[in-house]
Structure 1
């Protein structure tokens, strides 16, 4: 994340503040709800999107979305007591809701080697009740970690303002253009790996994904039972009727969701999901230890009757979503995927670009952001060969 600006320390709002603005911040369960009181003079707040591998692994999203608060802002200890701290670096401590896992706040030292240096706080933008006219988005940083540009290629401008695109720290080196990819990016055709490694930031949760097979398209029919030895005579549905697959059943579906539940569970503006049959998620690379909702540092939160969200209890990473009415399928937080070809893992996943899942949830609070992503998705798809075979609907647990 870019370093906070250095200003004179204050313990409360400046006396000269011409009025106050109260920003309400919430998590999904409500345990860590709080208010951020600022001077109107300090609005809009500058917003940033960090794509570094560490932020993606810590959130489960394709990037971290935050705003920096003025130096006088200090959250109450009673609020912090409802959250779990995670030492992200020697300069940054992240705080997430202990109950639902939502990323909420970050405490940032100006100098990680000096514990007495200036302290400022970041707020995860997905927790804010409203960001329209509150957040002035600056751009993307640490794109070099994505290898392929990642989520930044879905969001290139907002309200006509071109977002900056920095390969490393914000403002360092030359910016990279949309469509950029790293020279160190692995050739997926030359390296057709049959397993994808996934991990959270602290490595308390690690698992593997396997490539689509003939059985993948029949997951609803056969899971958890084993299919017949020979399933070659099975009549598969047309590709566009298999909601979680793409490209003639050779790839799984990936999609973006802006529903209130996903946003408040992660604390991130947009949550990105990969949809896979349950049997294709294993705890070991050999594929012998099947998926379980209880391994490593996983913690489960029932967000609504029959719907479960899983996060790492140590670093707060969003990990899985599942529902009792479709146990054959799991939603995997895309930011955890470790693909040598790039953070979009395009040889494994076909991205739904025709729409943003549950966009109507987010329009009232973030209209410009939502419209910008929809425009970016269309432009990204138009720049690629072949059509977007868009079946399916929703995200965040509702295909």
Structure 2
């Protein structure tokens, strides 16, 4: 018996199905954190579904799928959609040691993928320095024990991540720009540190929830001010909406919110940030980027991905033109893949409702992991709701306080008069509509 696996990129230009023996499901898979997976997608990790017996003739290679420029040479080839940039397929050396080739598909473009795979471990965690996305997904929902972490492939040295702790002040006080670079290095940018001046954008920048930036919060929703340090943090969130997953091929996508005036082109292809900038920066002027608009999305939404390796780079909206979503997987931060000297991670995962029906143990585990690692709320609606609850709580507290003062005053007054506490007759405030004499306006 065969199970048809439905595969489709975001724009549906590449939509096909592959039969897999039902008896082989769920297929074993690992969560990969290698530099190549992060920098070719823009995400923090990737998960692939093996395709037994698939060959190159099974896919529209070279027509609607483009081969990625890959630093790994001939050991692997990635394929992404020529229109929307979704990473879909990868051809690699077979994992069984036979020396043959095998095909895998990125789970972000597979319908109902959580029922088809069995996650066994995190691999290539050593590439991340700080544990990267492995800290966001330490275990599967209901899995009990943490997933094993390997420095490289399965069988390499095991890694034990320390609990989250504050970064050394050297990272937080550094004023050097951050290199933001894709796998093929055709997209190479520099990001400057945010500061108090970053709050004054040249255009209004409403939050993703379309709330006005003139909200009651003193700080912009996308920036965290740290008074103890000369730098501040950009807000970062994990998104699992179907748009982001099918556009990237990854099961979740990490975005940071960055003002365009803090970005500039890098003249260097090295991993060491230079101090040479070209400003101002506009994504549409960079030849290495290809844009994509989907008629199913709001008309002001535009995504940008690298033409060379297919890495997702930007998500832009006209209503907040001065602020862009920038892919965290491209950050080359010295402290590690999560770039915590630059980013403040949100507690909740964005747009979980998009995958509520198909959500399994992996995404449930991610929701729990983000709750443990993150520091804020996922959306401005939640930030505002928290502030409203605090305001209502303050008003309720004042109400109780003043009522208590009045009651104590009345008690002391009645005690001085040597009289019991006054009680209004019940018919003073209880109105029976059956008795018209107690109704202010007589019915006609």
TM tier, shorter chain?
Answer: 0.7 to 0.9
* 2:55 is equivalent to residue 74 of structure 1: yes
1:238–1:337 CA distance, 2 compared to 1 (3 A): farther
Aligned to 1:256: 238
- Aligned residue among 197, 200, 224 for 2:179: 197
Aligned to 1:375: 368
Judging by fraction of residues, say which structure has more helix.
2
- Aligned residue among 344, 348, 370 for 2:342: 348
1:167–1:292 CA distance, 2 compared to 1 (3 A): same
Separation (CA, whole Å) in 2 of partners of 1:171 and 1:196: 34
Judging by fraction of residues, say which structure has more strand.
1
- Aligned residue among 261, 267, 281 for 2:249: 267
Report if the CA contact (8 A) 1:254-1:272 is conserved. Answer: yes
What secondary structure does 1:21 align onto?
strand
Report if the CA contact (8 A) 1:188-1:347 is conserved. Answer: no
- The RMSD of aligned alpha carbons is 2.7
Report if the CA contact (8 A) 1:187-1:341 is conserved. Answer: no
Report if the CA contact (8 A) 1:100-1:265 is conserved. Answer: yes
Range 246-255 or range 320-329, more displaced = 246-255
Report if the CA contact (8 A) 1:38-1:73 is conserved. Answer: no
Report if the CA contact (8 A) 2:345-2:373 is conserved. Answer: no
CA offset digits 1:188-246 (Å, max 9, x no partner): 448613310011100111101111122211215479xxxxxxxxxxx996657622112
* 2:63 is equivalent to residue 96 of structure 1: no
CA displacement at 1:54 relative to structure 2: 1.8
Q: Which of these two proteins has the greater Rg computed from alpha carbons? A: 2
1:166–1:79 CA distance, 2 compared to 1 (3 A): same
Aligned to 1:295: 286
TM-score (norm 1): 0.81
- Counterparts of 1:23-172 in structure 2, within 5 Å, are 23-70=5-52, 72-74=53-55, 76=57, 79-80=60-61, 81-86=63-68, 88=70, 89=72, 90-110=74-94, 117-161=99-143, 162-172=146-156
* 2:294 is equivalent to residue 312 of structure 1: no
Separation (CA, whole Å) in 2 of partners of 1:246 and 1:210: 15
TM-score (norm 2): 0.73
Report if the CA contact (8 A) 1:276-1:329 is conserved. Answer: yes
Separation (CA, whole Å) in 1 of partners of 2:363 and 2:67: 30
* 2:220 is equivalent to residue 242 of structure 1: yes
Structure 1 residue ranges without an equivalent (≥5)? 1-18, 224-234, 382-386, 395-399
Separation (CA, whole Å) in 2 of partners of 1:190 and 1:362: 36
Report if the CA contact (8 A) 2:350-2:378 is conserved. Answer: no
Report if the CA contact (8 A) 1:239-1:247 is conserved. Answer: no
CA displacement at 1:290 relative to structure 2: 2.1
- Aligned residue among 326, 333, 346 for 1:332: 326
CA displacement at 1:130 relative to structure 2: 0.5
Number of residue pairs the alignment of both structures matches = 352
